[in-house]
Chains A and B, each alone.
Chain A
């Protein structure tokens, strides 16, 4: 089974509008972390936002916020006031503690966001 599922291969949004990128995850751990990264065409993975499984409030970082619904196992990224520079691939990732104390991130397949002027 997929650990991280991103069902939107591509998304379009008009400049200055908000957009939601979907992410669902699968884990049996009680303690885990969810991350979103941005990958522009240059290739570097840029950290955007983090949500811990025990965090009671949704994470926010500037124009980025995370809509965390633990019971539904979803962690959607919301980008407000989209800018042309937001055009990139966006990856959702999870770190599970697991029995071995795993530190590795498991990534989804990504969503390509294109912001239109």
Chain B
């Protein structure tokens, strides 16, 4: 049983550099989510895909952030011109959206910890 995987697990970069993270969801899941978690806080929603369509974006997702899910499978999250305030854990989750009153439980990956120097 393969869960959600994320790469890399850790990324250290200098301010101003671009970074890209990858998320591979559970294979049959059609919904994919990105969250950001800073130290001592709960995760905050960034964006959501259903198949390849990006259906929701949080106001936290500034113009420097872009996410894609080109074939409805894996997803990438890119941060351009990183700032120190971008340092956080970036979590990916996926769910099997069946509609109706299904629980649509989100299963999370291990996260990518970003440190911007």
Query: Which positions in A face B, CB cutoff 8 Å?
Result: 4, 31, 33, 35, 37, 42-47, 50, 52, 54, 91, 93, 95, 100, 102-110
Contacts and interface: CB of A to CB of B under 8 A. Distances in A.
B21 interface: no
B61 to A, nearest CB: 12
Nearest to B107: A47
Interface string B82-112: 0000000101010101000101111111110
Nearest to A54: B101
Contacts, number: 66
A4 B45 CA distance: 14
B43 interface: yes
Given A43-B111, A44-B111, A102 B56 contact: yes
B50 to A, nearest CB: 8
Interface string B52-86: 00011010000000000000000000000000000
B104 A103 contact: yes
A2 to B, nearest CB: 11
A50 B45 contact: no
B29 interface: no
Nearest to A95: B104
B42 A93 contact: yes
B22 interface: no
13 contacts: A33-B103, A35-B106, A44-B110, A47-B106, A47-B107, A47-B108, A50-B103, A52-B101, A93-B42, A102-B56, A103-B50, A109-B41, A109-B42
